[in-house]
Amino acid sequence: MQSYINYFTIIAAAGVTRMRPVHSIVPFSSLDETFAPGLKGVMGHGPVRVGSQAANQTQHDAYGSVVLGAMQMSIDERLPKVGDEALFRQLKRLGEHALRYAFEPNSDILEYRERAKVHAYSAALCWAACDRLGQFAHRLRLSKRARYWHAHAVPITDKSLAEVWHKKRGALTGALGHSDLDASVLLCGDLGLFASTDPRFGSTCDVIRCELMRKGRITPYMADDDFGAPETALLACSFCHIGALCLIGRKDDAQQMFDDSFERGNAFGRLSEDIRPETGELWGNFAQAYSMVEIINTATRMSSSWEEEGWARV
């Protein structure tokens, strides 16, 4: 864990203004996306691509993601080195970038290729960067810096919620000022951008379940992208929906959906990136880290705490 967080802080210390969302495991190797015309692809589906266009995309949620990861050092006493003021100074650079780019169009976590907008999730992660820096400063007793970051987080909250809430649809939409749904907004409840008891969040869960669910699977969105309308469902989105159901107290629905999604793994319990709702076939990258991590995250949300089970503190 310590080495993992050190990797985050190295990025922060570099003072970058544009963080690449994807890095190769082989240093300095190219991730530029190219086509392999000689390959037909699985079951004849093509074109086959090598590399990842996401490596050259702008995704402003990255700043908040790094701050959220590094915040573990400020609270986890199991780590050999606890977060200090030096770490805070490194991370505040990312907070300044988050302030600057919170409302700038970008590709967002779903890696939209031809749809640069001010996405709700990216804005929420920029808010999270500011909010967590405020919490970090408070723990370090840096009162002036804590007030600074909390004061800058509030306007992001106000603008985001005002412009993504679509009253007619009764849902939080995927981008500020737009009406298209996007399942990534389900993650905003866990961030604390708004309370899980906020009726807008519960209504959003219902609308997404109604409009983005196919055969029990949640598609990330339904609007056409450069590949056309999505034909498969993103498994991570289904688990995010399950987590959202837990947050709003609908654990029976969450349990049923979790059991069904979990059982779709192969003989080794591995899941792919996507699933074809009509057949249950696993599609896309395999095994997919997002899918496997969301199993853990969702199972944790669904589990009762020791206090709920009556265990005494040791």
Residue 170 has pLDDT above 80, yes or no: yes
Per residue in 173-186, pLDDT (tens digit) is 988 988 889 899 99
Per residue in 39-71, pLDDT (tens digit) is 887 777 777 888 777 777 778 888 898 888 888
pTM summary value: 0.86
The pLDDT of residue 314 is 43
- Torsion sign across C-alpha atoms 115, 121, 126, 127: positive
Per residue in 103-136, pLDDT (tens digit) is 989 887 777 777 788 889 999 999 999 999 999 9
The two tokens of residue 32 are 């530029």
Residue 225 has pLDDT above 90, yes or no: no
The two tokens of residue 301 are 């949300």
CB of 261 within 8 A of CB of 242?
A: yes
Please give the mean pLDDT across all residues of the chain: 83
The pLDDT of residue 235 is 87
The pLDDT of residue 312 is 46
* 35-44, 81-90, 93-102, 296-305, range with greatest mean pLDDT: 93-102
Helix H or strand E encompassing 285: strand 281-286
The pLDDT of residue 155 is 92
Residue 75: pLDDT band with limits 50, 70, 90 = confident
The better pLDDT of the pair 229, 161 is held by 161
The two tokens of residue 195 are 């309370």
Mean pLDDT of 301-311: 61
